[in-house]
Structure 1
Amino acid sequence: MVRMSAEERRESVISAAIAEFAQRGYYGTSTEVIAKRVGVSQPYLFRLFPGKKAIFAAASLRCIEDVRRVFAEAADGLEGEEALHAMAQAYVSLIQVEPERLRMQMQTYIAVAAAEAEGDHEFGEAVRAGWMKLWETVHLPLGADVNETTTFLAYGMLVNTLAAMGFPPGHQVWQGMYPSARVTGRLEK
C-alpha cells in the first residue's frame, strides 16, 4: 500500500469535503463523515485543517478556482464572442459532469450570507477575493467590457439556479438562454 503525503491527503480531504458539503451544506455535514470518506481519523483531519470552517473554506475556494481555471482554459487564445461561447460551453460541461461543483457553489453563497449575518466577514472576504479573480478571468477575454462581463456572469447565475432546481434539458426555460440555448438545454457554439 502506497502512503500518501500530507499534501495528497489534504487534497483528498478537499475533494471529499466538496462532495459532502455540496450534498448537505455546512451545518448538515460533520467532519466525521468527511474523515470517514477519506479514510482518516478526525484527529488526523484536524492536523491537516484547524477546524470545520477551514475545511469548508478550502472546499469553497477550490470550487471557485476550478471554475476560474475552466474559464481560463476555454478562453485561451480567444476573444469576444468566441471566448464567450467557449467559456459558457465549458462551464455547462463542468456542472453536467461534476454536479457537486454547482451544489458546492450554491452552498458557498449560503454560507457567506450566514457568516455575514453573524458578523463573521473573513469567510466572505476570502470568497469575494476568489470571485474577483474569476471575474477578471472572464472580463479580459470579453474585451474588458463591464457590460459583457456582467451579462455573462448574470446568465451563469441563472444557469446555476435553473440547473440546481433540476430543470431538465429540453425544458422551455432553457430556450431563451444567452449566448444560444437550443432545445437541448445546452449552450452551444
Structure 2
Amino acid sequence: MVRTETLATRERLLDVADEMLADKGIRATTMSAAAERAGVSRAWLYRLFPDKNALVGAALVRMVETTWERNHAELEAIDGFEDRLVAGVQIGRRAYDDPGATLMRLRTAEPEEFAAAIGVGVAGLVPDLAAFWHRYLQAAVGDGEIHADTDVDEASEWVARVLISLGSVPGNRLDADDPASVRRHFRRYVLPALRLAPEH
C-alpha cells in the first residue's frame, strides 16, 4: 500500500513538473512550487527527488518514455532486426528533435539546464531502453539474424547505448538523420559484432 501511494505521488509530481516545464521552462520550475502544486510536503518531494535536476530529469525522461508504447507498435510492424534498428534511430531523433516538442524547446532555450537535468535523468534511461529493445534482440536470435549464443540482456544494454549515442550525440562521419547512413553504420559495425559468437 505504501509503495502504491509512493508511486502515485511520484507520478503526480512528474505530472506537475511536465506542466511547469511546458508553461515556464526549466529555470522557472522550482521544487517548492512543484510541491505546492502537487499538494505534497517539501520533505516528501525531496524524499522522492533529492534535487531539482532529479525531478526535471525524471520528467524529461518520462516525456520520452511516454512515446515508447507507440514506438513498440511502429517497430512491431517492421520485419527484420536491421530495419528495426534503423527505425529505432529515427524514432530517437524524433523524440528529441520534433520542433514542436517541449523537449526540443527546452533543449534550445535552456541548453545548460537541459543538459544538467537530462544527464541526471538518463541515469535510468539505459536500463529502461535496454528493456525496451530486449524483445527485438530475442526475436533476432530466434530468427537467426544474430548469434544464437548472444547474451540478450547484455547485448540489449549495448544496443541501447549505441542508439542513445546515435540519437543524441552529433558526429562527423555519420548523419543520424539519414537512414542510409545509419544502415551503413549498422551493417559495418553493429550487426557483424552481434553475429559473432560471444567470447567467454
TM-score, scaled to structure 2:
0.46
Q: Which structure would you say has the larger Rg?
A: 2
TM-score, scaled to structure 1:
0.48
